[in-house]
Amino acid sequence: MTDTLTIRRPDDWHLHLRDGDMLRAVLPQTTAHFARAIIMPNLVPPVVTGAQAAAYRDRIMAAMPKGADFTPLMTLYLTEDTDPEDVAKAHADGLITAVKLYPAGATTNSASGVSDFKKVAKVFEKMAEIGLPLCTHGEVTDPEIDIFDREAVFIDRVLDPIRKTHPDLRVIMEHITTSDAADYVKAGNDNLAATITTHHLVINRNHILAGGIKPHYYCLPVAKREIHRLALRAAATSGHSRFFLGTDSAPHTDANKLLPCGCAGCFTATNTMSILAEVFEQEDALDQLEGFTSLNGPAFYGLPVNDDTITLSRTPPSYPEHIETGDGPVTVFDPQMPLNWSVI
Ligand SMILES: NC(=O)N[C@@H](CC(=O)O)C(=O)O
Ligand SMILES: [Zn+2]
Ligand SMILES: [Zn+2]
């Protein structure tokens, strides 16, 4: 039995750091293990221009814990008014690594997102031309569509038409939750990839709804049936290079989670590597962990892998149940299983 595992330092290809006090509280949880992260732009107000991305990056750098060696990879929040030239300039200046598409109303702070996808065709054209990837929150918002079907319907109604119109556009389907999405990625070409979160490898919809409602497991896209969780586990541990880690670690205070209309998001930055080691060992795939966390993401984004390494050892991790922030406590995701691996 292996008792230590050394892998290239991982990256997180989908992360919410927020701003202000929350940023200062959660950033060290990520920099402890990760070298880089794609930083989501769904602040209030959202990060829509190159200038706003530069200012947000400065705030992240100012909040950096001492001694941390961490690079935030910035994104722009796509709106129907986004100027293709501003996007191209932010990319040419090395300021942004991707553009993020939120269908308007699909998730936390997505009100300024896109309703009419034809209105952003010029931005997609420019992105395809310059090789700038599009990250998608892949859910339709049509109230007629059942919330458990919104990802699969997004693929048919929105994503596949966009990819047919813009075949050179590079797309990352963020936080996939269904076998439909995993199959679509596998059937796709080298311009298509997906991130998978830690929590969607652990929970299915029963964890949220059976035996009492569990607001801390509520996130978007919402966790689906067990067959989908198993499909995600198979995809993540398969060694397929177009699946990689995007934790979607999304801090909300307990006060905002535990409400009659609570916020969506699971906070996993603290214990993600321990949980993933457990999941990959359960799947007899510890040898695939490095690909998922540290190699496949850089390969898709055309970035070098990290030079240094981290080592995990077979020691139960210790971490707090919640972290304190200036806005109140944020509960750390509870995987409801013993964890046997720690980053040392
Ligand atoms: N995943 C979530 O449930 N919430 C995210 C938004 C998102 O990634 O959709 C958040 O910003 O809180
Ligand atoms: Zn999302
Ligand atoms: Zn997210």
| CATH number for 84 | 3.20.20.140
Does residue 1 surpass a pLDDT of 80?
no
Does residue 110 surpass a pLDDT of 90?
no
For 186, 288, 291, 320, the CA distances from 192, given in Å and listed in that order, are 9, 20, 17, 37
Atom of ligand 1 nearest to the CA of 220: 3
Distance between Cα 14 and ligand 3 center (Å) = 6
pLDDT for 175: 98
Binding residues: 14, 16-18, 42, 100, 137, 175, 220, 248, 252, 264
Does residue 136 surpass a pLDDT of 80?
yes
Atom of ligand 1 nearest to the CA of 252: 12
Distance between Cα 220 and ligand 3 center (Å) = 8
Distance between Cα 22 and ligand 1 center (Å) = 15
Atom of ligand 1 nearest to the CA of 42: 11
Distance between Cα 221 and ligand 3 center (Å) = 9
pLDDT tens, position by position, 189-213: 999 999 999 999 999 999 999 999 9
Mean pLDDT along residues 74-101: 97
Q: What CA–CA distance (Å, rounded) separates 178 from 148?
A: 9
Mean pLDDT along residues 238-250: 98
Contact criterion met (CB below 8 Å) for 12 and 292: no
- Three-state DSSP state, 305: coil
ipTM surpassing 0.90: yes
**If you ran DSSP here, which 8-state letter would residue 243 be given?**
E
Report which secondary-structure segment, H or E, holds 207. helix 205-209
Q: Measuring from each residue's beta carbon to the nearest atom of ligand 1, which residues come in under 6 Å?
A: 16, 42, 107-108, 137, 219-220, 248, 250, 264-265
Average pLDDT in the chain:
97
Binding residues for Zn(2+): 14, 16, 100, 137, 175, 248
Query: Atom 6, ligand 1: which residue's CA is nearest?
Result: 108
Mean pLDDT along residues 60-79: 97
| Domains contained in the chain, number | 1
Query: Atom 4, ligand 1: which residue's CA is nearest?
Result: 265
For 28, 50, 70, 217, 251, the CA distances from 47, given in Å and listed in that order, are 22, 8, 20, 27, 18
Residue numbers annotated as active site = 248
Q: Domain range for residue 132?
A: 4-343
Helices and strands of the chain, counted as H and E runs: 13, 13
Burial label for 246, CB within 10 Å (0-12, 13-18, 19+), is buried
Of 111 and 278, the structure prediction assigns the larger pLDDT to: 278
Binding residues for substrate: 16-18, 42, 137, 220, 252, 264
Confidence of residue 246 (pLDDT cuts 50, 70, 90): very high
Query: Atom 11, ligand 1: which residue's CA is nearest?
Result: 108
Place of tokens 């497991």: 217
pLDDT for 343: 98
Kindly list the protein residues that place their beta carbon closer than 5 angstroms to ligand 2, a single-atom ion: 107, 137
Distance between Cα 313 and ligand 2 center (Å) = 32
Does residue 179 surpass a pLDDT of 90?
yes
pLDDT tens, position by position, 290-330: 999 999 999 999 999 999 999 999 999 999 999 999 999 99
Kindly report the pTM of this predicted structure: 0.97
Q: What CA–CA distance (Å, rounded) separates 269 from 158?
A: 30
pLDDT for 2: 83
Does residue 107 surpass a pLDDT of 90?
no
